[in-house]
Amino acid sequence: MTRHGRQAARLLATAALISLAVSGCARQSDPAPSPAAETDTAAVEWSLHGGTWDEARHSPLDQINATNVQRLGLAWEAAMDSARGLEATPIMKDGVLYATSTWSRVFAFDARTGRRLWNYDPEVPGQRARDACCDVVNRGVAIWRDRVFVGTLDGRLVALDRSNGEVVWDVLTVDPGLPYTITGAPRVVKDMIVIGNGGAEFNVRGYVTAYDAQTGEQRWRFYTVPGNPDEPFEHPELAMAARTWSGTDWDTTGGGGTVWDSMVYDPELELLYVGAGNGGPWGRHDRSPGGGDNLFLASILALDPDTGKLAWHYQTAPGDSWDYTATQHMVLADLNIDGAVRKTLLQAPKNGFFYVLDRQTGELISAQKYVTANWASHVDLATGRPVENPGANWASEPRLIYPSAAGGHNWHPMAMNRDTGLVYVPAREAGWVHHPDKETWFELGVDDLAAVRSGQPQPPFEGQLIAWDPVAQAAAWRIRQPGIYNGGVLSTAGKLVFHGDGDGYFYAHAADSGAELLKLFLGTGVIAPPITYQLDGTQYIALLAGFGGPVFNTMEDSMAATRYANNGRLLVFKLDGGEVPLPPALPAPHPVPEFPAPETLSAAALAEGEQLYAVYCGGCHGLYGSRPMLPDLRRMALETHAIFKPIVLGGAYAPKGMGSFADLLTEAQVELIHDYVKVYAAELRAREAADPVADSR
Ligand code: CA
């Protein structure tokens, strides 16, 4: 199997495997025309992705506070025309709320009433859903002057007129022949718009690019990994990076290191910090067999925003082998550490360590585990490097690794309260088995899995909201959550921490003690972060609700999307608002139809069909009894069975997001998959016939 296929296999198994494995913000002082003068007015607005330049996601608003938050109710809601994951941070500026939906669509609403003012659809081809590891999501827009900017799933950066959503310019930022996607929010830096991309799971080469906000012309591009050594390096930093790679074909695999989410600009220090992603392929034994750190994978990079030149870098997981991205949200904070005020950068990347760096120099100040992490014992402060456990190397045998590839913390933004000094991290405890030969997780039989897990830590499998003290490097409190895929966080001067969860609840906790002060049932799973703003003397809290992302192939019973239609919506709350209407209940599952059994099928053919299904279908349509949010192929109608090949090879459903796989699968392979689906469906039909009351899985 190709590297692409192998990597896809590992990726597609994400959530299922996790289950199995555990059964003081600086302000722009430049007087020249700049976005800061127009956008840093967080007192009543939310005009920057992270709230303020430091991305603390802490609002000074306190009308809603611990004494009255119980009175929170719905001010208005608006449909987002989606049934998949909503991950965006809304932006509120000049009384208009801008939010993105699936497929990179942009909506503008009257922030007081919810009236839709305009919407923009970049018309991303449905075929491109296949290139997105983790759903057709988008994490929001940026605003500069009279424009709104959005990155699209098919790799474009688009500037829109704020007043009507009309396109001002539209530039392609990627090679359209490669599986690049954009899901992250662009950032405004001076008069530039900066955007990265995703695709490390499919072995693309990561980079971040700055564009002129006015014209869309490229200003600079920084590659996070070296390219073909037979060609000149695009910029000098890549010579240093190339010395940390080895082997014969790393330049042909892409390498990964994609900048798919986190970026933060410090206008005082004039530095742009970006987080780089995991290696592609995941295992360094595949990617760089002679070893090496593989710069700049899993690194935090400080760039000169005018030129894109590297000021410093810090690599969180040298030679990353575990999908340990450093793309997680970064917060800039000035902290009193050992009697001195340090300008720090805070990050809780996937690898389970909470890092405090000096953001002027990149020096590591401290790093401690915020969740279970067995890949490294600790981070050596003298060298700044993690001390990797020998047991973390899975080149020759399977290993149960904590945190999982989903990370101790993923893209879901954290928040920091200046008064408590705490950082609220939406985290999770979960492990993952990395295996050198097996293509998919379920090839690990129960016996194998028991052997892999033997003698290894087995912490609870759960989500956690962690209040982390970055100075003490210790948790002040932890809220345990049943599901592992929950929402991002908002902090307010009302001494509150707001967040939603995948089960469809919205919470307010006391910022100091963690006491639960509000629990509202929305009926819609939440993965996005809330924001807050104030208009006409009323404080509002806005939140996108809509479940999805990488776990939609394995729905847990508790998740709202297993009981209610997952209709994406923008919910806006205020004090003394109304009830939150629940979405319609899901209809009973479509019965498994009767169809002719596949012609005699050998065990080997069935196994091959199962394997192909897992690699190419399971990530979206569910694996081995998991409950998918997208269509369960076992319940396909007879008419759909009849056009199985036109769908899989002909792209008949590409407009719905089910692209053609004609470039990856032969007709014979598709027949094997189809046969496997029929056998798999017949099992379910027999089970349901025997026990029609049982919950059909
Ligand atoms: Ca990844």
pLDDT confidence tier of residue 259, bands split at 50, 70 and 90: very high
128 CA distance to ligand 1 centroid (A)? Answer: 18
Measure 409 CA to ligand 1 centroid, in angstroms.
12
Helices 446-453 and 14-22 sit at what angle, rounded to 10 degrees?
70
Q: Let me know whether 643 and 519 are in one domain.
A: no
Instruction: Name the nearest CA neighbour of 209 among 186, 238, 183, 242.
Output: 186
Mean pLDDT computed over 690-694: 69
Backbone angles phi, psi at 477, to 5 degrees: -160, 165
Please tell me which residue in 323, 501, 632, 675 is annotated as part of the active site: 323
Does 316 fall in a domain?
Answer: yes
Best CA proximity match to 183, nearest among 301, 325, 391, 381:
325
Are both 609 and 487 inside the same structural domain?
no
Q: How far does residue 545's CA lie from ligand 1's centre (Å)? A: 24
Number of domains in the chain: 2
The verdict on 462 and 391 lying in the same domain is yes
pLDDT value at position 552? 67
Give the tens place of pLDDT for each residue, 75-95.
999 999 999 999 999 999 999
Do 345 and 257 lie in one domain? The reply is: yes
Residue 315 CA to ligand 1 centre (angstroms): 16
Residues 200 and 309 reside in one and the same domain: yes
Q: How many CA atoms lie within 13 A of 262 on its CB side?
A: 34
Residue 696 lies in a domain: no
Choose one of 528, 555, 575: the last residue of a domain.
575
Residue 642, classified by CB atoms within 10 Å of its CB into exposed (0-12), middle (13-18) or buried (19+), is exposed
Using CA atoms, how far apart are residues 221 and 191, in angstroms rounded to an integer? 16
- Compute, in angstroms, the gap from residue 277 CA to the centroid of ligand 1: 6
**Do residues 511 and 636 both lie within one domain?**
no
Average pLDDT over residues 48-63: 97
| Pair (565, 616) in one structural domain | no
267 CA to centre of ligand 1 in angstroms: 29
Say yes or no to pLDDT of 34 above 80.
Answer: no
Query: How many whole angstroms separate alpha carbon 397 and alpha carbon 374?
Result: 16
Domain boundary among the residues 526, 560, 575 is at 575
Phi, psi (5° rounding) for residue 551?
-95, 10
Distance 258 CA to ligand 1 centre (A): 8
Report the CATH number that the domain containing residue 634 is assigned in CATH: 1.10.760.10
561 and 609 share one domain? no
Q: Last residue of some domain: 523, 558, 575?
A: 575
Alpha-carbon distance 508 to 496, whole Å?
6
Q: What is the mean pLDDT of residues 267-294?
A: 94
Residue 536: other Cβ atoms inside 10 A: 7
Compute the distance between CA of residue 146 and CA of residue 134 in angstroms, rounded to an integer.
32
Q: Is residue 582 part of a domain?
A: no
695 within a domain of the structure (yes/no): no
CA of 292 to the centre of ligand 1 (A): 20
| pLDDT at residue 350 greater than cutoff 90 | yes
Residue 192 is predicted with a pLDDT of 98
Residue-range definition of the domain harbouring residue 20: 3-575
Quote the pLDDT of residue 513.
98
Q: How far is the CA of 11 from the centre of ligand 1 (A)?
A: 8
Q: Answer whether residue 9 shows pLDDT above 50.
A: no
How many angstroms does the Cα of residue 440 sit away from the middle of ligand 1? 16
Give the per-residue pLDDT at 556: 82
Q: Same domain, yes or no, for 533 and 613?
A: no
Tell me how far the alpha carbon of residue 278 lies from the centroid of ligand 1, in angstroms.
Answer: 5
340 bridge partner residues: 337
- Cα of 325 from ligand 1 centre, angstroms: 6
Does residue 304 belong to any structural domain of this protein? yes
Tell me how far the alpha carbon of residue 323 lies from the centroid of ligand 1, in angstroms.
Answer: 5
pLDDT of the residue at 693: 60
Instruction: In whole angstroms, give the CA distance from residue 681 to residue 675.
Output: 10
Q: Is residue 160 part of a domain?
A: yes
684 inside domain? yes
Inside any domain, residue 595: no
**98-102, 425-429, 440-444, 521-525: lowest mean pLDDT where?**
440-444
Task: Tell me how far the alpha carbon of residue 655 lies from the centroid of ligand 1, in angstroms.
Answer: 26
CA of 248 to the centre of ligand 1 (A): 23
pLDDT band at 619 (very low <50, low <70, confident <90, very high): confident
Q: Which CATH number is 311's domain given?
A: 2.140.10.10
pLDDT of residue 306: 98
pLDDT exceeds cutoff 90 at 39? no
Sorting pLDDT into bands at 50, 70 and 90, what band is 446? low
Same domain, 363 and 462: yes
- In this structure, are 485 and 610 located in the same domain? no
Mean pLDDT of 611-623: 87
Nearest by Cα to 323 from 261, 256, 377, 388: 256
CA of 200 to the centre of ligand 1 (A): 6
Verify cis geometry, omega within 30 degrees of 0, for the bond prior to 552: no
Using the predicted structure, report yes or no on whether residue 563 has a pLDDT greater than 80. Answer: yes
Average pLDDT, the chain: 90
Cα 14 to the chain's mean position, in Å? 13
Per-residue tokens: 300: 């935090």
Which is more confidently placed, 124 or 453?
124
Using the predicted structure, report yes or no on whether residue 442 has a pLDDT greater than 70: no
- Per-residue pLDDT for 692 more than 80? no
Please write the tens of the pLDDT for every residue from 388-419.
999 999 999 888 899 999 999 999 999 999 99
Ligand 1 centre distance from Cα of residue 342 (Å): 31
Q: What are the phi and psi torsion angles at 279 (to 5°)?
A: -75, 150
553 and 617 share a domain?
Answer: no
State the angle between helix axes of 603-616 and 667-690 in degrees (0 to 180), rounded to the nearest 10: 100
CA of 160 to the centre of ligand 1 (A): 30
Give residue 83's pLDDT.
Answer: 94
501 counts as catalytic: no
What pairing do the DSSP bridges indicate for beta strands 364-369 and 353-358? antiparallel
Report the half-sphere exposure of 588 (CA within 13 A, side-chain side): 7
The pLDDT of residue 40 is above 70: no
Say what the pLDDT of residue 457 is: 67
* pLDDT value, residue 24: 34
